[in-house]
Amino acid sequence: MSEGIMQSDRPETLEGDSKDLFSKFDETIELRRNLLSSGVQDPFSLVMEKVLSPTRAICNGRDTILLGTYNYMGMTFDPDVLEAGKQALDDFGSGTTGSRVLNGTFQGHKECEEALREFYDMEHAMVFSTGYLANLGIISTIAGKGDYIILDIDSHASIWDGCAMGNAEVVPFKHNDVEAMEKRLKRIPEGAGKLVILEGVYSMLGDVAPLKEMVRIAKENGAMVLVDEAHSMGFIGENGRGVCEEAGVIDDCDFIIGTFSKSVGTVGGFCVSNHPKFDIMRLVCRPYVFTASLPPSVVATAATSIRKLMDASEKRAHLWENSKRLHSGLTEMGFKLGTDKPESAIIAVIMPDLEKGAAMWSALLEEGLYVNLARPPATPANMTLLRCSLCAEHSGEEVETILQMFENAGKAVGII
């Protein structure tokens, strides 16, 4: 499809005076054209022809180890999860055909919210159709015109979009910088509504936020706190509740946002909260009200997976082992990594530039390993990254194979 567009013979401008609204994408189109002309496979249109397990798929006809999915806890092929989904499909059909506030709340949605309340030990849980919509909805609904949002500059796109939609004053601070956050907070006019937005794990470099200090300072300055635990739920913290749990600040967080598309292994998003008025969100939050609810099979798989994640300490321990081994192995080989020590299930390998990054990505795929190629604007400081995300279902042996593949590809491309 994309190549068809790029090789098109049509004129680049439209007839008469009208402006081609696509002209703003010319730079990206050019970048992509240059990348592909170097002969590498398009890193952004890989197809998994068959998925064999949480850690393996057939890509380009070949058995490939997956090291670039968010399947941290490997729940996508859990037999209980699959069974729950199949049963719900039989009992409730393929879709809800409506919004949560009309005909789209089935028994399964309530059970899923109950599982979340138990998982976090919180009063309220609200399920959205994706994590993107959860951030968009909660942020835009609670922080409106005249309110202030203080947020980390490296926040996820869904957080920025939520800020823009709500029209609050947005005050960004330098990534993970406690002092910068405090300074910004203290400058906000007296009496204004304040929301501090943080993430547990930042997904590009896999680094963790200093939530203990940040949440304390936010509270001392009268702000409400929202923490996005998309990349930490299920894995970090004794019960897998995330970095908030690990840092001992979960009771001071007003809202925790999460997703089902990572450790939970399906699709959907949520917000949990102890705020006494939280339930009104169900009537006033547009990305909850004005979209269809999740299919019954999806909420059934999510609820089953969430319940199993409450009791998954062995899996969590094995995932930590994998993360530590990959981090130390890559460091010993001479790769430059995003963090000095492993902080999460994400290990980011910093590439010298996009060309080398794409060549390395291709060489790894030829070895039989899939990782994510991440580049600006998604990455901080204009970095090109090979982002590796580990899974609790990667065996120790698989991690050794992965390291060997990195060594072969790194030498072939001349990075190590």
Spatial separation of the C-alpha atoms in residues 34 and 49, rounded to whole Å: 27
Q: Does 131 bind ligand PMP (CB under 6 A)?
A: yes
Stretch that binds ligand PMP, among 128-136, 160-168, 308-316, 320-328 (CB under 6 A): 128-136
Three-state SS for 285-307 is: CHHHHCCECCCHHHHHHHHHHHH
> What residue has token string 């593949």?
405
User: Nearest distance from residue 125's CB to ligand PMP, in Å?
Assistant: 15
Residues of this chain, 56-115, that bind ligand PMP according to CB under 6 A: none
User: Nearest distance from residue 132's CB to ligand PMP, in Å?
Assistant: 3
Q: Does 132 bind ligand PMP (CB under 6 A)?
A: yes
3-state SS assignment for residue 35: helix
Q: Does 125 bind ligand PMP (CB under 6 A)?
A: no
Stretch that binds ligand PMP, among 34-42, 115-123, 127-135, 190-198 (CB under 6 A): 127-135
Stretch that binds ligand PMP, among 131-139, 243-251, 289-297, 363-371 (CB under 6 A): 131-139
Residues of this chain, 156-185, that bind ligand PMP according to CB under 6 A: 156, 158
Q: 5's torsion region: left (phi>0), alpha (psi -120 to 50) or beta?
A: alpha
Spatial separation of the C-alpha atoms in residues 403 and 332, rounded to whole Å: 10
User: Nearest distance from residue 149's CB to ligand PMP, in Å?
Assistant: 15
User: Nearest distance from residue 181's CB to ligand PMP, in Å?
Assistant: 18
Stretch that binds ligand PMP, among 129-137, 142-150, 165-173, 277-285 (CB under 6 A): 129-137
Strand order in the sheet with 148-152: 124-128, 269-273, 255-259, 224-228, 194-199, 148-152, 169-173
Q: In angstroms, how far is the first alpha carbon of the chain from the final one?
A: 35
Q: Which residue is nearest to ligand PMP (CB)?
A: 131
Distances (CA, A) of 93 to 82, 289, 396: 15, 22, 40
Spatial separation of the C-alpha atoms in residues 218 and 255, rounded to whole Å: 13
Stretch that binds ligand PMP, among 20-28, 125-133, 274-282, 348-356 (CB under 6 A): 125-133
User: Nearest distance from residue 173's CB to ligand PMP, in Å?
Assistant: 17
Residues of this chain, 221-240, that bind ligand PMP according to CB under 6 A: 228, 230
User: Which value, in Å, is the radius of gyration of the alpha carbons in the chain?
Assistant: 22
Buried b (16+ CB within 10 A) or exposed e, 268-295: bbbbbbbeeebeebeeebebbbebebbb
Question: Would you state the structure tokens that stand for residue 92, as one six-digit string?
Answer: 């409730």
Q: Does 135 bind ligand PMP (CB under 6 A)?
A: yes
Q: Does 338 bind ligand PMP (CB under 6 A)?
A: no
Q: Does 305 bind ligand PMP (CB under 6 A)?
A: no
Neighbours of 7 (CB within 10 A): 8
Q: Does 206 bind ligand PMP (CB under 6 A)?
A: no
Residues of this chain, 256-285, that bind ligand PMP according to CB under 6 A: 259, 261, 269
Spatial separation of the C-alpha atoms in residues 343 and 247, rounded to whole Å: 13
Q: Does 199 bind ligand PMP (CB under 6 A)?
A: yes
Q: What is the DSSP string of 339-358?
A: SSS--SSEEEEEESSHHHHH
Q: Does 344 bind ligand PMP (CB under 6 A)?
A: no
Q: State the residues that interact with ligand PMP by CB under 6 A.
A: 130-132, 135, 156, 158, 199, 203, 228, 230, 259, 261, 269
